[in-house]
A and B are shown apart, each in its own frame.
Chain A
Amino acid sequence: MLPAAGEVPWRAVVNGTEKELAIESNAILLDVLRDKAGCLGAKRGCDMGTCGCCSVLIDGQPRLSCLTLAAEADGRDITTVEGLADGHHLHPIQQTFADYGGSQCGFCSPGFLVVISALLEENPTPSDPEIKSAIEGNLCRCTGYQQIVDSVRAASQILTSGGSIEDSTAPKSDPHPGFSEEGAS
């Protein structure tokens, strides 16, 4: 067995919930989030800081969790992709990612989404160059980034126009619909 590093207590607010865990003192944040905190949304694409799939927010700032010692995040506020939605209401960037093709395979999406949510928090109307520089550390192999940028623009629209996102549990289509000349929705 590797020399046991010895477990240490670790606490942090993860997606709004206080977590108290025992971790190895040299544990990497990504491992703690995935294996102990139940945040499988944070993805491991490379484990060496090159792909951005593991991006999370620490006190609102984007960080690569594969390069962060869990100890550094002790006592801090951590947000993963699981923490973006408000109950059954998606965050606007989640909604527009779905609607504008920001996700294809979706493996990179959790990283992009947290990074973009931080961008929009700071600057709800980013320019294209600002969007691009915010996501320059995130690799996507599917989309060619263009529909990701489209999604950010659309999310910015929603945020600035005060648009709202529907509750995903709202009733879906009625298989026995009526028909009315003025009421057809």
Chain B
Amino acid sequence: MSVEKKDDEMVGYRQQPGKLPFSKPGSGGKNQFSKPTDASIIPESQGGSKKQPWGPHPHDELVSGQAIGKPTAMVDSRWKVTGQAHYGDDVRLAGELIGRIVRSPHHYARVLSIDVTKALELPGVIAVATGADAANKFGVLPVTKDEHAMAVEKVRHAGDLVACVAAETEATAREAERLIEVEYEILDSIHDMRDGLEDSQTPIHDRGKYHIGESNIQKRVFQEFGDVAGMSQAAVASHKQNWLFAGVNHAATEPHAVVAHWDPSGRLTLYTPQQVPHYLHRALADVLEIPMHQINVHRTFVGGGFGGKSDPFPHEMCAAILARKAGRPVRICLDREEVYWINRGRHPSRIEMNLHADSEGRICGIETDALIDGGAFASFGHVTTYYNGVLHTAPYEIGAFHYTGARVWTNKPASGAMRGHGAVNSRCAVEVGMDDLAEQLAVDPITLRLANLLPPHSATITGFRVTSIGMRECLERVRAASGWDDKFRKMPLGKGIGIGCGFFISGSALPIHWDPNKFPHATVHLKIDMDGGVTVHTGAAEIGQGSDTVIAQSVAEVLGLPLDMIRIKSRDTDTSPVDLGSYSSRVTFMNANAAISAAMGIRDELLDATVEITGAERNKLVIGDRRIFAKNDPAVGVSYLEALHKAQEDRGALVSSGAYRTPPMGRTHKGAAAGLAPAYSFSAYVAEVSVDIETGQTKVDKVWAAHDCGKALNPLAVKGQIIGSCHMGMGQVLSEEMRYLRSGHLMNPDLLDYKIPSVHEMPEVIPIIVESNDLEGPFGAKEAGEGPLLPILPAVCNAVYDAIGVRTSELPITPDRMYRMIENRCRAEKVSDPLDLASPRLEHSALQDTLDARSNAHTERDIERRLDDEREPYHNGALFGLDPTIPPDEVDPRWAVTVLPSDEYLTTPRLAGSAWKHTERRHRGDA
């Protein structure tokens, strides 16, 4: 490539004629030339030509043009494509034993006795452990620790752990598994989540004085914001739907596996594919009763997480316990069936969704009631219970909000966090409701959405601080790309198109374990020695989403280095600074920010050294490709290595630490912190489907998927996340379901009967990246890993309605369910041949113009707000005539936040709301 001579010398720098630098010893001496900085990458705010329609960003001055925004292969991909990537079961240590787990065949039973003598007599069996070996409870959330390594007293679901064994070979271990004799007293089990709301003789857990009645209610939430009673009176259109969502599993291709090894110094190293090594680290210390510094958690390559590898797991405890007893390393690899027994998938849910719209086409109220089936353990469920409500208080401005939620224990494998945690099902219900409201109001559903969006830099009804919003652009771009206006309500019977939106947290503002919130959420260390390569220590768990890559890119960008000079060390808790892990879509936002701050430390030192060598003015220096030079006179500069060696004089390697912590924000009511995030992502998808009217088979033909990720640091990875999210959401909406018999038996714990989409079911997905340049995000970035899953479900449901005029209330939409819905519609309309059914059609009402006008006005408002540094606050409620600058509850008593149901509500509660009929033991005075 040759350098274009331009007057505007900012774009490159001149080497002084005839003065090529000598090769430095150890530099490789290849004389690889530095690339002139590309002006098209440098933001306008720094004198470059990169347009910034969303305004400048605090990180603009760090842009060197090296890495950010370029489609980048994952830095660890070469390991993966050569078979050198070692996942859980690929860790092989000398002298290893194979561990197997004895699991309960009963749904609910008291363990009366366990006889291990026969197993221990079997030649080749080295160690056996039972619940008696580990008395302490653990759990991912410190407020709800309710798990044991193995059953203590009771087993709570079929597949619950009872004992474990380590043997020389797998065959011996399996045989020993059979020789362990367990005597059970079977208890009455419950499997229908509705039963969990009732008092029971033998509740699945005992929360002591915090137990709610004698029921199996693990968590209940009541929240009201705004004038809930008044809103239904103002409504001219109301939507109500009772949903039943089946539970789904992450179905990561790698089954969980773990290797435990106690080294000669008595320290434990646990090799495991974990998304959240830090929480496991804590749980191991509790269960093994040793201090945390005696444990090194080594994260192996992770063969898919999606939330399914983010709890500390009992099998991880078992491996550590067995290895301690045996004095040898122990490896446990779960069968696919066992993966379903430990589950932690999306909660089976019953959601009643009510939406109301007033004569102006405003969403005057949302009332949601969500009962979620937690299975046998708490896991992340405390948070899930909140998320099912609070995560649908945006992107729309709403007049009032009521949420009742309850999570119950049942004798099933535990539900937990899964991609889109807690937001997916209720979002589907809201977006289908929006479609129905648009139908009732006879307006276009995209326009209805566009006319009701919160502006940038606003607060939701629940008090969440929303910064950047690219929702409007997402909607407009999918509308244009899909040819929406020519297709919606215009396609022939059996073909349809539908819209769905999404809103998701970009990291949780409240760390699970740290109270008060004083520690950083993420810390990154850098070390640069004489070779010039940068070693990055981070605890961010690379689970295939590309976190190592995005952190390497961030460091490379700030220091002006090619990616091959950055090496990421993110595996061991011994060497990595504490990181909360890969969940809640926090990694890019928090770790890239921490990495940038660490790199800025090094950058400062390199600039100081350059000043010392060249005598140039410090504030004129910029960093380009492995070279630091004066912006006004690019000939004046030094190579990266020259600056580095200068900086290292008298001290050796440069080290630096950077951290990120969310700013204080949010409100103070009970539960106010759930759903709080430093930024939120937004998305809008359009799906086109075909429904085979005679067989009930639904096929998704094409998806236009727009996602606002703030700034795509690695567009290749962002697109991969969008398409992958479509895959997972498509599975949930059309084919995936953990099917239980009424007896509680799980019918399909395998990948043959649990149907994830194959290549043939996958539609073409057109990923559309919207960049809203979040001011707090690293280079403007927000999350892209979970939010993109949300819109696909409702987009498909709404497209199905467009195709055949039936509204589903049960997922997945399997052919038999679809067939039944079509049959019902035929019966209701007395049509004998389904092919004679009429397709839904749309004749715009007068409201359409009102909404168009409001949407246009809001577009201008939004552009103004995002570019205005002096902008006034904007609180949800302004659309309804309230003062936007004051939180409504501070001026109007009818907007006061309520977190307890009134006696009046309790006379006729909704389903989950009935959880409040019980009194906590401590309030009954009998505990």
Interface residues in chain A, defined as those with a beta carbon under 8 Å from any beta carbon in chain B: 1-2, 39-48, 50-51, 53, 80-82, 84-85, 90, 94-95, 97-110, 113, 132, 135-136, 138-149, 168, 171-185
CB pair A1–B123 under 8 Å, yes or no, is: yes
- Interface bits B637-672 vs A (CB < 8 Å: 1, else 0): 001111010000000000000000000000000000
Chosen A-B contacts, 12 in total, with CB atoms closer than 8 Å, are: A1-B122, A43-B254, A46-B336, A95-B81, A101-B719, A103-B81, A105-B302, A145-B759, A174-B27, A174-B28, A177-B640, A184-B34
CB pair A51–B304 under 8 Å, yes or no, is: no
Interface residues of B in 320-345 (CB under 8 A from A): 333, 335-336
Q: In the docked arrangement, what's the CA distance between A92 and B11, Å?
A: 35
**In the complex, what residues of A have CB within 8 A of residue B760's CB?**
132, 136
Q: Given the known A-B contacts A47-B336, A174-B31, A180-B20, are A98 and B77 also in contact in the complex, defined by CB atoms under 8 Å?
A: yes
A153 shortest CB reach to chain B, Å: 14
B118 CB within 8 Å of chain A: no
Interface residues of B in 74-126 (CB under 8 A from A): 74, 76-87, 89-90, 92, 122-124
The 6 closest A-B pairs by CB, nearest first: A41-B83, A105-B544, A106-B80, A107-B303, A175-B532, A144-B727
CB pair B15–A178 under 8 Å, yes or no, is: yes
**In the complex, what residues of B have CB within 8 A of residue A53's CB?**
253
CB pair A147–B34 under 8 Å, yes or no, is: no
Q: Given the known A-B contacts A103-B81, A172-B565, A173-B32, are A139 and B13 also in contact in the complex, defined by CB atoms under 8 Å?
A: no
B195 CB within 8 Å of chain A: no
B531 CB within 8 Å of chain A: yes
CB pair B80–A173 under 8 Å, yes or no, is: no
Q: With A46-B336, A50-B751, A175-B28 given, can you name 8 additional A-B contacts, CB distance below 8 Å? A: A2-B174, A2-B175, A45-B336, A94-B82, A95-B81, A105-B303, A132-B760, A143-B727
Q: Name the residue on B nearest A38 (C-beta).
A: B92
Chain B's interface: helix, strand, loop or mixed, by majority? loop
Q: Given the known A-B contacts A44-B255, A44-B333, are A175 and B33 also in contact in the complex, defined by CB atoms under 8 Å?
A: no
Q: Given the known A-B contacts A50-B750, A141-B253, A143-B723, are A107 and B304 also in contact in the complex, defined by CB atoms under 8 Å?
A: yes
In-complex Cβ contact of A41 among B82, B336, B564, B626 (8 A): B82
Q: Name the residue on A nearest B728 (C-beta).
A: A141
CB pair B83–A144 under 8 Å, yes or no, is: no
B552 shortest CB reach to chain A, Å: 13
Q: In the docked arrangement, what's the CA distance between A19 and B726, Å?
A: 44
**In the complex, what residues of B have CB within 8 A of residue A98's CB?**
73-74, 77-78, 80-81
CB pair B172–A1 under 8 Å, yes or no, is: yes
**In the complex, what residues of B have CB within 8 A of residue A175's CB?**
27-28, 531-533, 561, 565, 626, 639-641, 644
CB pair B720–A142 under 8 Å, yes or no, is: yes
Q: In the docked arrangement, what's the CA distance between A175 and B625, Å?
A: 10
In-complex Cβ contact of A82 among B34, B82, B533, B641 (8 A): B82
B717 CB within 8 Å of chain A: yes
**In the complex, what residues of B have CB within 8 A of residue A104's CB?**
74, 544-546, 720, 724
Q: In the docked arrangement, what's the CA distance between A100 and B750, Å?
A: 30
Q: In the docked arrangement, what's the CA distance between A183 and B87, Å?
A: 43
CB pair B28–A171 under 8 Å, yes or no, is: yes
In-complex Cβ contact of B751 among A51, A95, A132, A136 (8 A): A51
- Interface bits B610-648 vs A (CB < 8 Å: 1, else 0): 000000000000000111000000000001111010000
CB pair A144–B32 under 8 Å, yes or no, is: no
In-complex Cβ contact of B89 among A44, A90, A101, A171 (8 A): A44
A92 shortest CB reach to chain B, Å: 11
**In the complex, what residues of A have CB within 8 A of residue B85's CB?**
106
In-complex Cβ contact of A90 among B81, B641, B765 (8 A): B81
Q: Given the known A-B contacts A82-B83, A184-B3, are A136 and B306 also in contact in the complex, defined by CB atoms under 8 Å?
A: no
Q: In the docked arrangement, what's the CA distance between A43 and B30, Å?
A: 40
In-complex Cβ contact of B719 among A43, A97, A142, A147 (8 A): A147
**In the complex, what residues of A have CB within 8 A of residue B265's CB?**
none
In-complex Cβ contact of A146 among B82, B304, B640, B762 (8 A): B762
B816 CB within 8 Å of chain A: no
**In the complex, what residues of B have CB within 8 A of residue A109's CB?**
80-81
**In the complex, what residues of A have CB within 8 A of residue B23's CB?**
174, 176
CB pair B545–A85 under 8 Å, yes or no, is: no
Q: Given the known A-B contacts A1-B122, A44-B333, are A174 and B304 also in contact in the complex, defined by CB atoms under 8 Å?
A: no
CB pair A168–B80 under 8 Å, yes or no, is: no
**In the complex, what residues of B have CB within 8 A of residue A110's CB?**
83
A21 shortest CB reach to chain B, Å: 16
**In the complex, what residues of B have CB within 8 A of residue A185's CB?**
1, 32-33, 35
CB pair A43–B87 under 8 Å, yes or no, is: yes
Q: In the docked arrangement, what's the CA distance between A14 and B327, Å?
A: 35
Q: Name the residue on A nearest B250 (C-beta).
A: A141
A81 shortest CB reach to chain B, Å: 4
Interface residues of B in 143-193 (CB under 8 A from A): 171-172, 174-175
**In the complex, what residues of B have CB within 8 A of residue A179's CB?**
13-15, 20, 33-34, 36, 627
